[in-house]
Each structure stands twice: as C-alpha cells, then as structure tokens.
A = this chain, B = another copy of it.
Amino acid sequence: MAAIIIPKTLKGFRDFLPEAEIARKELVDKAEACFRAYGFVPIDTPALEYAEILLGKGGGETEKQIYRFADNGGRDVALRFDLTVPFARFLAAHRLELPIPFKRYHIAKVWRGENTQAGRYREFSQCDFDIVGTDGLAADFEILLVMREALLAIAGGPVTIKINHRGLFNRFLDTLGVGKQAAEVLRVVDKQAKAGRAETLRALVSVVGEEKAEAICAFAGTRGSFEETLAAMTAAAGGPCPESERLAQLYHSMRGMGIEKNFVLDPSITRGLDYYTGIVFESFLNERPRLGSVCSGGRYDNLVGLYSREPLSGVGASIGIDRLIAGLESLGRIEERRSYAQVGIVIINEKDMWACHGLARAFRQSGVMCEVLPEIAGSRDSKRLVKQYVLAEKMGLEYVLVPGDEPLDDRVDLRYIPDRSTANNISFELAVQICKYPRLRETYLKRG
C-alpha cells in the first residue's frame, strides 16, 4: 500500500472550516456594506510582486519577515506583507485612470513569516480603506465616520476611537526644544500602553533627559473632555495653530452629527510608523479594552514617494479582522452558524428526487435557503432516515422536511412553508410533512 502523506498545514497557517469562514465572511460583509454605502470602491493587487517593489528602501523587520524567493524565471519576487505598499505602487501606476481624490477599500490576505506565538499568524486578512489625493479635513472626518460606523456594525456594542494629531505633538516637542528627536519620542510613547509609564519614562529619559521626559509623559498623559484635552495640548504646544484648529473643527463636526461620545482625544496615541504626519487613531471595544486596537490608521503626507515624483497625500485605516473576531468570540457575539440553509429536505426515493428539488426551488424562490440532503433515505422507517436527522443537526439546519404519507399532525410547524399550495403543486403524491427535526427525531427514535 502506498505511503500516506500527512495532511498537515504549515505553522502559522490555518484552514477555515465552514463555521469560521462564515463568521469571517459575515464580518467582512458588514465592513464592505459600510464602505460601499460611503462610496468607497474595491480594488485588488497581486499577491506576488517584485521584491524590490515591496521592500522599497528595505531593511529592518520587514526584510526578515517577508516570503521572498526567485521564481522560475529567476525574478526576485515576494508575497505582499501588507496592503499599503501594494496600494502605493498601484496609485503610482494607475493615477491617471482613477478619480482623484480616490476612495478605495481592499480586503485580502497578506503573509509574514513572523514568530507565531501569542495568536499571531503567518497568513492573515487585512482590511484597509483610504482616501488619497486630498489633505482636507473632510477626508479625515469621513475616515473617522466610516470607522465608527463599520466598528459599531461589526462589534454590536460600544466602541471608542482615540485620536491624536502628530503635528500638534511635534509642535509641543519643538516648544520643548527636542523636535529633532520627535520620531524616536513618538515610537517610545506609542509603546506606553504595553510598556507602562515607568518603563516609558525611563526610555524617554535616555532620549531627552529627565526633565523633558517628565514633561512629555505629562503631555501624553493629558486626560479630560475633548475640549479640555485640546485646550491643554494647545497651550503646551505654544498656542493655537492649524493642527489645533483642525482638531477643533473635527470635534465641531462630530458634535454636529451627534457622534462625539465615541471619540476621545488622547495624546498618548502616536502610532509607531514613520509615515504618519497628521491625525492618528486607534479603536477599542469598550467591553474588551485589553484586546488592543481593532482599527488603526492616520494621515500621511505622501504614500507614493518610492514610485512617483508627484506626491499623493491621504488618510486611511485598517481593521484588524482576526483580532476583532477573537474579541467578539470572547464576548459570545459570533453566531455559531454552520450553514446558510435553514431547511433540509430528505429524499425518500430516487425517482422523487426531482420533486424534492422542485420543492426546494419553491422555498428558494420565496427567499428561504433550502438544502436537499444528498443521500437517499430509502424509506420512512430506515436507519438511513435517522442518519439524515443526525446530519441535519451537524449541518446546523433548523428544519427537516420528510415527504411522507401520514396525515399532518400537531408536530407540524408550517411557518416555513411560504404557500401550502406550492408544496402541493409540485406533484408529490404524498403529503409533505414538516417537522422541527429534533422533535421528529425523538418521535422517530421512540417508535424505532
């Protein structure tokens, strides 16, 4: 006998069984419905690109994590590790074909050969949405609106979006006389939620000295209402400036729409990545704050610099699909759905197969998703019929229909029959008996 190949997957890679894939699709569908309603359009880019394109200036963590190899033609290629870099390349290549400003979303898998501990995967979905080609406040506001709406739809519970403005933080650092160390300071502050205040202070001291480190920690620690925090930040940054005006106008607009309660101005939100230049934001499920941010992003000056001499600014965010699913699972908010069909029909005799499918068609035409169980039961008193009930339960069906010749009795539940006459019209000579299957199964097992 030939040797068997063990059917294993690579470390960090997952199979999605129906229940998990249905949950993932439902989440994605909710996000997509929201993007589309706001006029965002989908794009897709290749999974595989020239390594040079994806690595850009290269170096650092990315280079170590990327799946890179020589293809059969000897090209130096790699799997995309995020959707931002391919989007930048896409914009540089197709700029003239697109309406600018351009509002796109992109939901796709990406690959990183990173350490798989702590629930990290080497293949995972990203869900990005951006508005590029405008540095206007209206785009910032719209991204925040879409984030809020998509997250509320997905989470089914309260969410908080924490925002900050890197430009305002930088002004504060200038006022403090440490503007040149801004990039490093922002990276340290970004890690405060994980590292804790003491460790953050220690790290800052080594960058800017003790006194200024204290001032930075105090600035990042500013709390209060949006207006109070903004006033304190503005004062610390040397008084009113375009960035503080922008935040004030954002708050005015949130209040106008009555959505301000979902937003917090939090100067400790800085985002680690260097390319952000304006507002930055992170989002949290109020019921699971420790989960970390489930949607993050910000405004960038120029996304396409590596591939084009004409800059293109924008603002965008990325929903952490896997993290959200983990959070919703822990909240018991992922519906355990194993099938889209509600009703299953059993075929008793092969010659009546078409009639069962005719009945199923009638159900579908009435908007009820309907499964015909693919095995022939043979008779109404067979073990194979019992097997169909077991199968229906495993599939997660709610009802099983067994064509029968017994009179309809009190076990019958007609609410899924859209029109009794439809059922009769399909030329079954036998009556159609509809039973909520666990009850019927019990009855059957008692009889059997």
Contacts and interface: CB of A to CB of B under 8 A. Distances in A.
A48 B10 contact: yes
Interface string A8-26: 1111011111100110110
Interface residues of A, number: 110
A231 interface: no
Nearest to A246: B350
Contacts of A16: 42-45
Contacts of A22: 41-42
A50 interface: yes
A46 B14 CA distance: 6
A138 B353 contact: yes
A341 interface: yes
Given A9-B46, A10-B49, A36-B340, A101 B21 contact: no
B44 A15 contact: yes
B92 A364 contact: no
A215 interface: no
Interface stretch (A180-188, A236-244, A277-285, A305-313): A305-313
Interface string A344-359: 1001001101110110
B340 A94 contact: no
B138 A307 contact: no
Number of copies: 2
Contacts of A44: 15-16, 21, 24
Contacts of A10: 46, 48-50, 71, 75, 77
A58 to B, nearest CB: 11
B9 A49 contact: yes
A15 B43 contact: yes
A9 B52 CA distance: 11
A101 to B, nearest CB: 5
A252 B351 contact: yes
A142 to B, nearest CB: 6
A253 interface: yes
Contacts of A45: 9, 15-16
Interface stretch (A197-205, A320-328, A365-373): A365-373
B37 A340 contact: yes
A70 interface: yes
A70 B113 CA distance: 12
Nearest to A354: B256
A166 interface: no
Given A41-B340, A48-B79, 10 more contacts: A8-B93, A11-B73, A13-B46, A21-B44, A25-B42, A37-B340, A48-B67, A101-B373, A138-B374, A256-B355
Which 6 pairs, one residue from A and one from B, show the smallest C-beta to C-beta distance? A39-B371, A256-B354, A69-B69, A39-B341, A18-B41, A13-B46
Interface of A: 1, 4-11, 13-18, 21-22, 24-25, 36-39, 41-50, 52-53, 56, 64, 67, 69-73, 75, 77, 79, 89-90, 92-94, 97-101, 103-104, 109, 111, 113, 123, 131, 134, 136-139, 141-142, 145, 249, 252-257, 306-309, 338-341, 344, 347, 350-351, 353-355, 357-358, 360-361, 364, 369-376, 391, 394-395, 397
